[in-house]
Amino acid sequence: MPELPEVELTRRHLDEAMRGRRLVRVSTTHPRTARHNAGGATEVDERLEGRTVREVGRKGKFLAAPLDDGQTLIAHLGMSGRFTIGDPSEEVALHTHFRATLDDGVEVRFIDPRTFGFVAVVSPEEMVESGLSRVGPDAWEMAPTAPDLADALGKRTAPVKALLLDQVIVSGLGNIYADEALHLAGIHPLRPGGELTVSDLERLLAAIEIVLGQALENGGTSLDDLAYLLPDGRAGENLERLRVYGRTGLPCPTCGAAVERIVIRARSSHFCPVCQPAP
């Protein structure tokens, strides 16, 4: 599933292609892709057509592009979504559910085999009601300080891994980078969030910055299913740099102990039993 680095890299490509461009023709072709607008695909297409994109921004794993009339185009890649930018004459890939032709002739497409992703258009009033307004500070652009994070965690007893995934305390991390950051910080994924010290949180925040920065430099993480590709069609190269995620039984890069896998709230967690002592 695309996480902050993959969404940010997608954003950079989309911003370059779409900033200042008018959406001449828009065609949404799967009802699930348009499910966040009551009027479905027709409404998405009608509200977007003719509008000019001011810029393409991001908060957590959401893409958010303000338009010239005050509306915002929101997109989420879900489990398997990706954007492409190219010529309208190019063959349309299977599972292409959204196409927008820009005023310079370039076509932006959204491909999403599992349809957990979406494209939506919201007014400022609708934005308040949208999931985007509940998303916490971005882990890369506006990461909290350790004392602020300690305040946000309060006396929460939930495992720190689950709290990192819930997008409210901090946003953008998914299963891969949460596991990677906890390993680098030497924090067991089951430790209750509210019990972490400011020193633990300082290590965790530094680790988050390192793993996200490394993933951005490497073009993001494309897993073996290649669900995530950059908008220019290239695969990210961060997979081989992962320390614990998906490496059950393989040696920890720090100490050599076998990486273990446990399930926390229905999500797999990978950790080193030596570097990340059990609570």
Residue with tokens 């954007």: 83
Nearer to Zn ion by Cβ, of 143 and 187: the residue is 187
Which residues, at least 6 apart from 196, have a Cβ–Cβ distance to it below 8 Å?
A: 150, 153, 160, 187, 204
If the CB atoms of residues 131 and 253 are measured against Zn ion, the closer one turns out to be: 253
Q: Which one, of 205, 4, 229, 255, lies nearest residue 109 by Cα?
A: 229
C-alpha R_g of the chain: 20
Whether 267 is catalytic is: yes
From its phi and psi, is residue 259 left (phi > 0), alpha (psi between -120 and 50) or beta?
A: beta
Is 2 among the catalytic positions? yes
Annotated catalytic residue: which of 3, 8, 107, 180? Answer: 3
Distances (CA, A) of 44 to 37, 130, 170, 222: 7, 15, 29, 29
* Ranges within 20-39 binding Zn ion (CB under 5 A): none
Specify the residue, 51 or 247, whose C-beta has the smaller distance to Zn ion: 247
- Residue with smaller CB distance to Zn ion, 93 or 274: 274
Q: What's the rounded Cα separation, in Å, for the pair 220 and 110? A: 18
Smallest separation (angstroms) from Zn ion to the CB of 259: 8
Total of residues contacting Zn ion (CB under 5 A): 7
Determine the length of the chain.
279
Choice among 12, 54, 261, 267 that is catalytic: 267
Q: Which residue type occupies 126?
A: E
Considering the complex, what minimum distance in angstroms separates the CB of residue 184 from Zn ion?
A: 11
- Whether 90 is catalytic is no
Question: Which residues in the 219-278 window bind Zn ion by CB under 5 A?
Answer: 252, 254-255, 257, 272, 274-275
Candidates 61, 82, 99, 203; catalytic one: 61
Does the footprint of Zn ion cover residue 216 (CB under 5 A)? no
Q: Give all strands of the β-sheet with 118-122 in edge-to-edge order.
A: 57-59, 62-66, 72-76, 118-122
The interface mask with Zn ion, positions 129-168, x = CB under 5 A, is ----------------------------------------
38/256 with CB nearer Zn ion: 256
The catalytic site residues sit at 2-3, 61, 267
Chain positions contacting Zn ion, by CB under 5 A: 252, 254-255, 257, 272, 274-275
